[in-house]
C-alpha cells in the first residue's frame, strides 16, 4: 500500500516571521494552501495507483498533471518553511550561519548585495505564479538562480538551496500589489543555516523533510 504524505509542522510559530510575513498569511499558507497540495497529492497518487492496478493506463496517466502540480506544491512549500527563520534567530545571520555559501555567493555574484539584487529581479520577473530558487547545479557545482512556473519542483539534479514563493497568496494580505517590498523584506527571515546545510550536503538530504512524512 502506498504511503500518504502529511503536512509538516512548522519549525516556528505562525507569527514568528512578523513583520516580514504576517501571522495570518503564514497560517493560511501552511494550514490551508499547503494542506490542499498534500490532500490533492494523496488523492492523485491513490487514483493513479488504483487505476493502474485495474490495467487502465490511460486513466492512471491522466493523474500525472495533478501529481506533478500537487507534488511540486508539497515539495516546494516543505523546502520553503525550512529555509525561513525568525529575524531574531542566529540562523538568519548569513555571516555566522553560512560562511561557505556566502563565500560561494561572493565568488559568483561579487557580493551578497549583488546576488540579492539579481535574485530579486528574477523573482519580480516571474509572469504569473511561481517560485525563485538559488540552486547548486549537479554537473558543475555552480550556484545558479532559477525561476519555475506554478508548482514546478526544482529540476532533476539541482540541489535547492533557497526558495522564495512568488504566488500571490504568499504575500497578498500584507503587501497587496507591492510585491517588490515583499521581495525586499523576505531577506530578513531567510534561514541561512538551512541554506548552508543544503549547499554543503547531498541533494537527497535537502528533501529529507518529505521522507519523514510518509506513513505506510
Partner 1 sequence: MPIRMPTTTARTAGLAVRGAMGARPASAAGALTFARGKATLPDLSYDYGALEPHISGKIMEIHHKGHHQTYVTNLNNTIEALGEAKEKGDTFKAAAMAPALNFNGGGHVNHSLFWENLAPANKDGGGEPEGALKKAIERDFGSFDTLKTQINTALAGIQGSGWAWLAKDKTAGTLQVITRPNQDPVTGNYVPLMGIDAWEHAYYLQYQNKKAEYFKAIWNVINWKKVGERLDKA
CA atoms within 13 Å, Cβ hemisphere of 199: 24
CB of 50 to partner 1, least distance (A): 21
Q: What are the contacts of 10-19 at 24+ separation with CB within 8 A?
A: 10/81, 11/81, 11/82, 11/85, 12/84, 12/85, 12/86, 16/86, 17/84, 17/86, 17/87, 17/189, 19/185
Q: How big is the site for partner 1, counted in residues (CB under 8 A)?
A: 20
Q: Which is nearer to partner 1, 161 or 174 (CB)?
A: 174
Give the cell for residue 159: 540541489
Q: Which 143-172 residues touch partner 1, going by CB under 8 A? A: 149-151, 167-169, 172
Is residue 203 a contact point for partner 1 (CB under 8 A)?
Answer: no
Q: Which 28-47 residues touch partner 1, going by CB under 8 A? A: 28, 32-33, 36
Q: Which is nearer to partner 1, 97 or 151 (CB)?
A: 151
State the Cα–Cα distance between residues 144 and 72, nearest whole angstrom. Answer: 20
CB of 70 to partner 1, least distance (A): 9
Confirm if 86 and 67 have CB atoms less than 8 A apart. Answer: no
Q: Which is nearer to partner 1, 183 or 190 (CB)?
A: 183
Is residue 181 a contact point for partner 1 (CB under 8 A)?
Answer: no
Confirm if 33 and 84 have CB atoms less than 8 A apart. Answer: no
Q: Which residues contact partner 1 (rule: CB under 8 A)? A: 28, 32-33, 36, 65, 69, 127-130, 149-151, 167-169, 172-173, 176-177
Amino acid at each position: 500500500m502506498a504511503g500518504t504524505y502529511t503536512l509538516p509542522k512548522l519549525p516556528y510559530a505562525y507569527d514568528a516571521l512578523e513583520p516580514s510575513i504576517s501571522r495570518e498569511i503564514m497560517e493560511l499558507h501552511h494550514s490551508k494552501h499547503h494542506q490542499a497540495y498534500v490532500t490533492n497529492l494523496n488523492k492523485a497518487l491513490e487514483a493513479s495507483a488504483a487505476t493502474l492496478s485495474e490495467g487502465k493506463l490511460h486513466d492512471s496517466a491522466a493523474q500525472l498533471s495533478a501529481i506533478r502540480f500537487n507534488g511540486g506544491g508539497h515539495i516546494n512549500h516543505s523546502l520553503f518553511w525550512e529555509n525561513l527563520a525568525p529575524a531574531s534567530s542566529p540562523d538568519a545571520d548569513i555571516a555566522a550561519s553560512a560562511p561557505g555559501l556566502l563565500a560561494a555567493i561572493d565568488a559568483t555574484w561579487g557580493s551578497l548585495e549583488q546576488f540579492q539584487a539579481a535574485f530579486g529581479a528574477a523573482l519580480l520577473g516571474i509572469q504569473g505564479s511561481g517560485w525563485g530558487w538559488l540552486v547548486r547545479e549537479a554537473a558543475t557545482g555552480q550556484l545558479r538562480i532559477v525561476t519555475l512556473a506554478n508548482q514546478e519542483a526544482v529540476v532533476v539534479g539541482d540541489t535547492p538551496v533557497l526558495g522564495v514563493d512568488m504566488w500571490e497568496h504568499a504575500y497578498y494580505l500584507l503587501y497587496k500589489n507591492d510585491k517588490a517590498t515583499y521581495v525586499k523584506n523576505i531577506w530578513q527571515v531567510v534561514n541561512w543555516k538551512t541554506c548552508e546545510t543544503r549547499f554543503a550536503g547531498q541533494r537527497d538530504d535537502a528533501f529529507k523533510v518529505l521522507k519523514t512524512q510518509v506513513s505506510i
